Structure 1
Amino acid sequence: MKRFQVGQQLQQLHWKDINGNAVNIPDAGHFVHLQFRRFSGCPICNIHMGQLKARAQELRNNNIKEVIVFYSEDKKIQQNLGDIPFTLIADPQKKLYDYFGVERSLKSVLDPRAWPAAMGGLLKNISRALRMLPRDDESMFGLPAEFLFDLDGNIIACKYGEHAYDQWTVDELLNQLHSQVLSSSKDSIA
């Protein structure tokens, strides 16, 4: 399976979010943090979504546009994550996952490093979590992946997760951005 790497430039991609709005990457006005998550009811993903939501203003202040892709249908994402202030994309056929080389594996949930987040997400609201378990073509075996694009569509950082809770924290994302922007400004001065 092909995987993208730092330094590659993304050709212009056009999608629709769950509300039918156009989503373009690259976005000349923003750095884009493109995340691939699992299903929209995923207790592990929802912990991460909560952390991002709590720091949404900080992400905006750093000119980062969050674009998050799920296996789920539009309606399911709206039901489960309607209060998330980011661009959400439904990809139930997993075309974008395949395009970006995002894998699915049993090890996503069998890896002990994912268990604390899974338990925390389930215990936070067990009745809600049980109602939100994967349905239809959703899968709990997806591995996360994320990409940080500059204004021209160059990948300035990327991560393919090894288990279901293997993604950047908000601090790690901001560090990735600042180190890349700082290094590119040094290169342009030299």
Structure 2
Amino acid sequence: MHNPSVLSFRVAIGHDVAAVVSLVESAYRGESGQRGWTTESHLLDGQRTDVENVAELIGSDGSLVLLAEQGGELVACCHIERQDTSGYFGMFAVNPLLQRAGLGRAVLAEAERLARETWHATSMRMSVIEQREELIAWYERRGYRLTGETRPFPYGQPRFGIPRRDDLRFVWLSKPLDEVTA
């Protein structure tokens, strides 16, 4: 018997692009994003991603978009990419109405497992806007550590959002993948 509360994972394909864009935008921007704790609307206006970007991520070698579904409905997603001996984790989104229910932990753990088993990645890396202190703390509770690396925010490139402040930058976090995520 099918249990609609069971979380299932699959890799996105071309016909999933619009649903992924819609989920990511709902989690990070606008009014719907403010219902969840992952919103960036206090830092950025404009888009978080677009159809072209998601299609490119789905179609690139060493890259995949992982979908999490409940009852056949998309509830969360992330992008993982092979980068040398590491996996890169990004474009992480959980439906704002379902946040704080453990979906994020499950998606992160599955992404780590895929990177380890598919690409033999020894670590997972990610970049987060420095001002997202609550999100950084969430990752730290899952074994990620700040590396000390930073990267400037791509000001003047509205494809990545329209900054509401002039001091944004990315910080890098990393976690060895021999650790088991709880």
TM-score (normalised: structure 1): 0.28
Higher RCO, 1 or 2 (CA under 8 Å, sep at least 6)?
Answer: 1
Between structures 1 and 2, the one with greater strand share: 2
TM-score (normalised: structure 2): 0.28
Between structures 1 and 2, the one with greater helix share: 1
